[in-house]
Chain A
Amino acid sequence: MSSSTGPSEPNHVLEFPGGYTRSVGPVIGRFLSELRDGRLVGVRTAGGRVLVPPSEHDPDTGEDVTGEFVGVGPAGTVTTWSWVPRPAKEHPLDRPFAWALIRPDGADTALLHALDLGVFEEGAQPPKFLKTGMRVRPRWRPERTGGIGDIECFQPEVTLINAPTRLEYELRGGKALRRFLEGIAEGRILGHRCPVCEQVIVPMKGLCPRDGVPTIEEVELPDTGTVTTFAVNNIPDPRAPEVPFVSAYVLLDGAGLTMLTLVAGVPADQVRMGMRVRAAWRPREEWDRSMNNIRWFEPLDEPDVPFDEIKDYL
């Protein structure tokens, strides 16, 4: 669009080849010299205000400023900003960025500069964390020449770190789980019956968590059951189908405890408490000794179980 980019093939160019040389005078010259040395300074007015960038005259009174230069910032506060979703070729950054007026600490006026907030795709919306009041600092160029561009841009102060977190283990599940997974590897779901309460515990733990007694009597359960309760998940998980997906507690038929599993094959908003489901096994050639053999549970074409029959298993 010509309104923002101008002619694509200009046939007339207005240019000072090599640039236009300007003298800067003692006040701006000091500012630029300090910039080259990696320092940000302002100049004090007779009224005591600190102007950054410095000017030769107090904008309020027109009087000459004092000769006193004051180190400011370099950290500062954003007083207003605008967001450039599609940078022009004249702009200092080639990815979306903000312009900001930044009042360096110790200054009474604001400096205009670009504010780099990281990597964004062209056309991006302004990020939510970009706000008036944001604390920012300059990013200095390593090679400085004495110009406003010696500050490449400003960037936010550090408010977060991202620390690496990884620990490695080799876990073994214990005897009861090993036996349960042996069953799964054969396409069978095994549980233990408690000798006291007679409920079937699946996956078994070798103990009844209710009665605190060892369990040894193996029972094979069908791969059908009832959803007792569930949650709709909107955060992706590598083990799950696409978001939103449903994780649910399923009470296998004949079991006395629920299992946490995925429910799929039905839109998330159609999953119900009391819904009848069956395990969806992966193809047999993909089986191993893990719960991955059951991909998830899918709806059965059966009437829902009344709430009264599942309310004690929630």
Chain B
Amino acid sequence: MRREIAVVAFAQTRHSGADEGLAEIEMLAPVITEIKERTGLARFGFTCSGSCDYLAGAPFSFVSALDAIGAWPPISESHVEMDAAWALYEAWVKLLHGDIDTALVYGFGKSSQGNLRSILTQQLDPYHLAPLGIDSVSLAALQARAYMERSGVKEDDLRAVAARSRASGRGNPFALHLPEPGADEEYDVAPLRPYDVAPITDGAAAIVLAAGDRARELCERPAWITGIDHRGEPHAPGVRDLTRSEATRLAGERAGEKAGAAGVEVAELHAQFSHEELILREALGLGDDVRVNPSGGALSANPMMAAGLIRIGEAAARIHDGSASRTLGHASSGPCLQQNLVCVLSEETGASHG
């Protein structure tokens, strides 16, 4: 039987839409302090983080973030240059090995310091894409167009996603509180309008994972990870079917074991553009009865490198607070939903583990 592993604590900053004058470590440290206090843990069996040096424009900027953790005597630590949801995956694998019982995962990003769109251009294939100067929003708009033409979805349907996300976000003290989408906002990159694009956001988040009885000690209602999987698609947008997220579908099937995403009451989807939510819903087979992004999602707050981890944290928090018994967190990375991670959480440890 596979080891039982749960999210036992989740903390995040009150995210900001503009630089508030804090260094990244100053933004992160209160979140780490909070999650240590909540769990009563000062040291963890393993620590793993997700961040991107390009956001700060400084090499190895993730190393200085360790000052917020307290790394002496030396700790067992790792880092991914991806959203911290992938750091959570690494920590989950580490916990499966059985030699530790707790892990701290965190992610942080300050997108306000540079031009995020051109920073993300630098993650593209350097031969055929990056030299063209194509940015993340232009790429997403290509996917939106392809999806709309395949599905028949109209711009008003995208606007409805944005409106619902922003309304939910206004009820979330940690999200940016963004107004109702305007009726006559001009295109950003057509067919996307400004409200279809996740806002520039500064923020950080942390999760503590624990295994078995340790999880039960640390949390009244642990959110057990009954399945987690991630999948990547080819990088070149021209070889993919942009209208579908095959990686999400596969990851969802694997994470949900045989049940897939069935029975999920709440899904937190890392949709950084309104059309992505519709593609993800389809890939995961989520029905209208599933509450999608009650936190407001990335369209209400998108701290880079933490926003995917926050989706898992929010999904876990719905189990912690007793408002749901089975939830799903999704994270994405790369252009046009290239890589996707799906984590299914349950109040039950799950009997289907083989």
- Please give the residue numbers on chain A whose beta carbons come within 8 Å of chain B beta carbons, in ascending order: 2-7, 10, 12-14, 20, 22, 24, 28, 32, 51-53, 55, 59, 79-85, 88, 90-92, 99-101, 103, 109-114, 123, 125-126, 132, 147-149
- Which A-chain residue is minimally distant from B112 (CB atoms)? A2
A99–B137 CA distance with the chains assembled, in angstroms = 11
Is B239 a contact partner of A109 (Cβ separation < 8 A)? yes
Residues of B near A103 (CB, < 8 A) are 238
Contacting pair B238 A111 (CB below 8 A):
yes
Q: Which residues of B contact A32 (CB under 8 A)?
A: 127
Is A80 within 8 A of B129, CB to CB? no
Among B76-84, B114-122, B203-211, which stretch is in contact with chain A? B114-122
A-B contacts, 9 of them at CB < 8 A, read A22-B126, A80-B149, A82-B139, A82-B140, A91-B134, A111-B238, A112-B237, A148-B129, A149-B131
**Residue from the list B128, B142, B200 in contact with A99, Cβ < 8 A:** B142
Q: Do the beta carbons of B200 and A2 come within 8 Å of each other?
A: yes
Report A294 CB to chain B, min CB distance, Å: 44
List the interface of chain B (C-beta within 8 A of A): 18, 54, 57, 112-118, 121, 126-129, 131-135, 137-146, 149, 186-192, 197, 199-200, 234, 236-239, 242
**Residues in A whose Cβ lies below 8 Å from that of B112:** 2
Task: Evaluate contact between A82 and B138: CB separation under 8 angstroms.
Answer: yes
Which listed residue (B132, B135, B190) contacts A114, Cβ 8 A?
B132
Pick from A7, A91, A125: contact of B187, CB below 8 A: A125
| Contact present for B117 and A88 (CB under 8 Å) | yes
Shortest Cβ distance from residue A15 to the other chain B in the assembled complex, whole angstroms: 10
Are A101 and B133 within 8 A (Cβ)?
no
Q: Report the Cα distance A10→B121, complex, angstroms.
A: 18
Known: A6-B118, A112-B134. A148 touches B145 (CB 8 A): no
Residues of B within 8 A of A109 (CB): 236, 238-239
A10, B56: Cα distance in complex, Å: 12
Are B239 and A28 touching (Cβ within 8 A)?
no
- Enumerate chain A residues within 8 angstroms of B138, measured Cβ to Cβ: 82, 84, 99
Q: Is the CB of B190 within 8 A of A126?
A: yes
> A151: nearest residue on chain B (CB-CB)?
B132
